[in-house]
């Protein structure tokens, strides 16, 4: 479960991390009222789970009530990278001289959590990791003992954080690890952690992603789940019982098995496409589940083409094919090209059964992915 920025900031603030004064608004009038109470200048920030909100027009800095009203009116109700904005965070602006990144996540290669610090905050940390990896200081943590104070200090020192704020940044990093561990989080980060002209540190953003399977241990966080829900697509995924993650590409991906779906995602990327989602419909491919999966993917305006990667194991390939035909037959019109790769038991019989007037059938996964990427490019 991914918490919204305002929810994560509440959790961070309760733990002692400095955050700017802020208030949530769902209407323009509320936004202006909160801005007046906080005092100008303020930032009006869309509350959706996407990166690059500022560049996409989802964050605006305003100096007075008129600008606050215009900003809230523009952001509330907007479509931000496929997400509908229905609430904004009105937050006191921070006069800063530097921006840092601090974060905790799991390094699966090492099998340990890792603390990360960088003086290149305020930008996409994945881009920094790819283009300038030495700009990120990393310190692996033994989960049996937790983060030692010297490890926090070392990460801060290795990153080149100014001496005047090093102690405070190390304190924030230690708190962040405690939050990560105590809340069964997968990610906890602040980007940017701002350094003010008075050498204070303030969390200008907050990320806290929690393991869904651990929510029973955290009823306070579980209460936030409905509010933190992404949008109608994530709500549908929960309703249908699908494992679903929305991404920012245009190639829809459906498969029956997490490994199968992950392989498909990797191949889409390899062949020059951009995955729009991770969607695992689970074992088998009964018509009802196929209809629900296609309904979800077709509902995503970012999707230009869909690849269906199905392996017939206990469920035979011919039965899978009949389910797909039945599912597609329930649509008055197939709105986007669909490519099907069918493998496993009775796969050949299944491919013969598939209605090639409704779908493109490919024998290999590579062929199916390449064809889907081509379709997606043609639709743009």
CA 40, chain centre distance (Å): 31
Q: Which tokens is 301 given?
A: 């305006």
66 belongs to an annotated ligand binding site: no
How many Cβ atoms are within 10 Å of 93's Cβ, its own excluded?
A: 16
314 belongs to an annotated ligand binding site: yes
52 belongs to an annotated ligand binding site: yes
98 belongs to an annotated ligand binding site: no
256 belongs to an annotated ligand binding site: yes
Q: H helices within the chain, ranges in order? A: 5-14, 28-38, 65-75, 125-131, 149-159, 163-182, 219-222, 225-228, 232-240, 258-270, 287-298, 317-329, 347-353, 365-379
Give the sign of the dihedral formed by CA 152, CA 176, CA 207, CA 273: positive
Q: Which tokens is 29 given?
A: 């009038």
51 belongs to an annotated ligand binding site: no
**Has 6 been annotated as catalytic?**
no
Give the span between the Cα atoms of 191 and 170, in whole angstroms.
15
Q: Which tokens is 160 given?
A: 């080149």
- In the three-class reduction of DSSP (H, G, I as helix; E, B as strand; rest coil), residue 278 is classed as strand
27 belongs to an annotated ligand binding site: no
91 belongs to an annotated ligand binding site: yes
217 belongs to an annotated ligand binding site: no
Q: What are phi and psi of 336, to 5 degrees?
A: -140, 150
367 belongs to an annotated ligand binding site: no
124 belongs to an annotated ligand binding site: no
Among 101, 240, 244, 375, the active-site one is 101
Among 189, 230, 234, 319, the active-site one is 189
Question: Is the distance from CB of 243 to CB of 292 less than 8 angstroms?
Answer: no
**Has 375 been annotated as catalytic?**
no
Catalytic residues: 101, 189
- Residues tagged in the binding site annotation: 45, 52-54, 91, 94, 99, 191, 205, 256, 313-315
- Residues tagged in the binding site annotation for Mg(2+): 191, 205
- Residues tagged in the binding site annotation for substrate: 256, 313-315
- Residues tagged in the binding site annotation for ATP: 45, 52-54, 91, 94, 99
């Amino acid at each position: 479960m991914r918490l919204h920025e305002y929810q994560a900031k509440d959790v961070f603030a309760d733990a002692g991390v400095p955050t700017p004064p802020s208030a949530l608004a769902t209407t323009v009038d509320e936004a202006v009222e909160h801005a007046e109470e906080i005092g100008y200048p303020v930032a009006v920030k869309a509350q959706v789970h996407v990166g690059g909100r500022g560049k996409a027009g989802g964050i605006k800095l305003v100096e007075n009530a008129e600008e606050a009203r215009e900003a809230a009116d523009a952001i509330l109700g907007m479509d931000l990278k496929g997400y509908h904005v229905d609430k904004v965070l009105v937050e006191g602006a921070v006069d800063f001289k530097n921006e840092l990144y601090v974060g905790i996540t799991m390094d699966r290669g090492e099998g340990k959590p890792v603390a990360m610090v960088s003086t290149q905050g305020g930008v996409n940390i994945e881009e920094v990791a790819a283009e300038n990896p030495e700009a990120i200081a990393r310190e692996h943590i033994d989960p049996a003992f937790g983060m030692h104070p010297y490890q926090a200090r070392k990460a801060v020192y290795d990153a080149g954080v100014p001496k005047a704020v090093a102690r405070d940044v190390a304190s924030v990093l230690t708190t962040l690890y405690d939050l990560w561990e105590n809340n069964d989080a997968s990610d906890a980060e602040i980007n940017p952690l701002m350094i003010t002209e008075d050498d204070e540190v303030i969390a200008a953003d907050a990320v806290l992603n929690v393991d869904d399977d651990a929510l029973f241990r955290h009823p306070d966080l579980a209460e936030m789940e409905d509010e933190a829900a992404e949008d109608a697509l994530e709500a549908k995924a929960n309703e249908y019982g699908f494992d679903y993650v929305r991404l920012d590409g245009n190639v829809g991906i459906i498969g029956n098995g997490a490994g199968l779906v992950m392989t498909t995602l990797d191949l889409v990327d390899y062949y020059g496409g951009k995955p729009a989602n991770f969607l695992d419909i689970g074992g088998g491919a009964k018509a009802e589940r196929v209809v629900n999966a296609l309904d979800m993917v077709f509902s995503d305006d970012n999707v230009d083409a869909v690849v269906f990667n199905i392996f017939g194991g206990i469920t035979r390939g011919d039965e899978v094919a009949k389910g797909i035909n039945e599912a597609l037959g329930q649509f008055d019109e197939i709105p986007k090209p669909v490519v099907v790769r069918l493998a496993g038991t009775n796969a050949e019989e299944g491919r013969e059964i598939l209605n090639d007037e409704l779908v493109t059938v490919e024998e290999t996964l590579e062929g199916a992915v390449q064809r889907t990427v081509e379709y997606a490019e043609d639709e743009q």
